[in-house]
Amino acid sequence: MLTADYINLEDELGAHNYKPLNVVLNKGAGIWVWDVEGKKYLDCLSAYSAVNQGHCHPEILKTMQAQAARLTLTSRAFRNDQLGLFYKEICHLTNSHKVLPMNSGAEAVETVIKTVRKWGYQVKGVPKDQAEIIVCADNFHGRTITIVGFSTDENSRGGFGPFTPGFKIIPFGDADALEAAISPNTVAFLVEPIQGEAGVIIPPPGYLKTAREICSRHNVVLVLDEIQTGLGRTGKMLAEEHEGIEADLTLVGKALSGGYYPVSAVLSNKEVMDVLQPGEHGSTFGGNPLACAVARTALRVLDEENLVENAARMGTYFLEGLRQINNAQIKEIRGRGLMLAVEFDPAAGGARQYCEQLQQAGILCKETHDHTIRFAPPLVITRDDIDWAMEKISAVLAG
Ligand SMILES: *Cc1c(COP(=O)(O)O)cnc(C)c1O
């Protein structure tokens, strides 16, 4: 089958809820992926930061194979020998006290919403069904009805109502707006440390620190969605460390399995998690031994290969390279660690054309919100790889 045949099959038989670049991949290793015609590309999306450890990491593969041959699923009706060790290792790496394992990122977000509401009623004393959660404009937290209900992106929410009540939306990066929005019924503030899907939007310095203070002062649970920013992407294990704070609840997912398996988790510092009693929440696959074993190795790889530190160093180098590009249509170049973006003036006619040209040049990127290209390669990238990439990127983007 040729590229066109695969594309036709997808288009004919699949729902059209994505608009992928027309590249059909069948192999990956490290920062590289290959298409069905044998052409090689540098992956600058990393499956939205799910393959921070690089494609098909050999250590994670070994664990996946060994655990798959031993035991894959017990359900939480019984215990398994991987879950406790996974808890111990992720708590150690992220300085957390409690863990609730789920599968997708959206499920972790839903878990947090349930948990902070329950905490609000049981601990904070919010009257029944009055709990409010504050979120930010231009957020991205996933695709369930509740989550898209508090999105401000018309594409994400339009046509899907009615939605779950109980959310208040404030501008991102505005600590005064947070303070003003808090009422006695506010149970939590849910925010991304850097808004990824919105186009790598970095809040003003001190924002998270101030948000931390405000939440503490008003007895509001601070929830950081680090599903994209976490696990090394921004040059720290968790992006909260850039401002020296600790969230009460932290969400991780994506790179938690290095791209092998859907694994997410809610990490808790404050003992908010203790409000959940047996039977009140769960997931058939959440915390299964295969997921836990894979996640344990994915975390070990981040640690042993110093990928967090590499992300910081390579991110700085990549950003310097991008800043050399001369194009009057570029509005802003920004990034933290290996989460980088080039935003074009709306007059440039959209970022998609550049992504298609980069594809021709052997670099896979995806536009976010029409005018921005995100660069987020696997964290195993080297200086030489960046030099190779920057030659191509500047040739395309300077055009
Ligand atoms: C990807 C993402 C999610 C949703 O994760 P899924 O696994 O796709 O459900 C939630 N929050 C953020 C910040 C994300 O980047």
Per the structure block, which two tokens stand in for 65? Answer: 């194979």
Rounded to the nearest angstrom, the distance between the alpha carbon of 49 and the centre of ligand 1 is 10
Low-confidence ranges of the chain (pLDDT < 50): none
CB 230 within 8 A of CB 196: no
For the Cβ of 228 lying below 6 angstroms from any atom of ligand 1, the answer is: yes
Query: What residues form DSSP beta bridges with 168?
Result: 134
CA dihedral 195, 205, 250, 92 (to 10 degrees): 130
Residue from 228, 256, 263 whose mutation best tests the ligand 1 pocket (most atoms within 8 A of CB): 228
Residue 18 tokens read as 């994505």
| Orientation of helix 352-360 relative to helix 383-397, angle to 10° | 120
Alpha helices (H) along 120-174? 145-149, 154-157
3-43+325-332+347-379: CATH topology is Aspartate Aminotransferase, domain 1 (3.90.1150)
pLDDT at residue 350 in the model = 92
**Ligand 1 pocket residue status of 196, Cβ below 6 Å:** yes
**Substitution candidate for ligand 1 out of 147, 234, 254 with most atoms within 8 A of CB:** 254
Atom of ligand 1 nearest to the CA of 106: 9
Q: How far is the CA of 38 from the centre of ligand 1 (A)?
A: 31
Token pair belonging to 396? 């395309």
From the CB of 41, is ligand 1 less than 6 Å away? no
Whether the CA torsion 117, 120, 122, 126 is positive or negative: it is negative
Q: How far is the CA of 106 from the centre of ligand 1 (A)?
A: 6
Ligand 1 centroid – CA 261 distance (Å):
14
Exposure letters 182-197 (e unless 16+ CB within 10 A, then b):
beebbbbbbbbbbbbb
Residues designated catalytic: 140, 225, 254
For residue 48, how far is its CA from the centre of ligand 1 (angstroms)? 9
pTM of the model: 0.98
Rounded distance between C-alpha atoms, residue 52 and residue 35, angstroms: 20
Bridge partners (DSSP) of residue 330 are 344
- Atom 6, ligand 1: residue with shortest CA distance: 105
* Mutation to probe ligand 1, out of 141, 202, 257 (largest number of atoms < 8 A from CB): 141
Widest pairwise Cα distance in the chain: 62
Does residue 162 have a cis peptide bond before it, meaning omega lies within 30 degrees of 0? yes
Degrees to nearest 5, angle at CA 250 with 257 and 78 = 60
- The 10 Å Cβ neighbour count of residue 355 is 20
Alpha-carbon span 106 to 300, nearest angstrom: 24
Whether 193 is in the pocket of ligand 1, judged by its Cβ within 6 Å, is no
The H-or-E segment that residue 336 falls in is strand 330-336
Distance of CA 183 to the CA centre of its chain: 29
Q: What does the CA dihedral 297, 287, 54, 330 come to, rounded to 10 degrees?
A: -140
| Amino acid 369: pLDDT | 86
Atom of ligand 1 at shortest distance to CA of 103?
Answer: 7
Are the beta carbons of 172 and 199 closer than 8 angstroms? no
**393 near 363, Cβ under 8 Å?**
yes
pLDDT of residue 269: 83
Choosing from 51, 136, 227, 263 the residue with most ligand 1 atoms within 8 A of its CB, the one to mutate for a pocket test is: 227
Q: Does domain 58-304 have CATH number 2.60.40.420?
A: no
So where are the chain's domains?
Answer: 3-43+325-332+347-379, 58-304
C-beta atoms surrounding 73 within 10 Å = 11
106 lines ligand 1 (CB under 6 A): yes
Enumerate residues 6+ apart whose C-beta is below 8 A from 172. 136, 137, 138, 139, 191, 195, 198, 201, 203
CB 25 within 8 A of CB 359: no
Burial class (CB in 10 A: 0-12, 13-18, 19+), 217: exposed
pLDDT digits (tens, 9 = 90+) for 119-158: 999 999 999 999 999 999 999 999 999 999 999 999 999 9
State residue 270's pLDDT score.
74
Cα distance between residue 380 and residue 378, in whole Å: 5
Is 192 close to ligand 1, i.e. is its CB under 6 Å away?
A: yes
pLDDT of residue 271: 83
Among the listed residues 235, 178, 170, the one whose alpha carbon sits nearest the alpha carbon of residue 207: 178
**252 C-alpha vs ligand 1 centroid, how far in Å?**
9
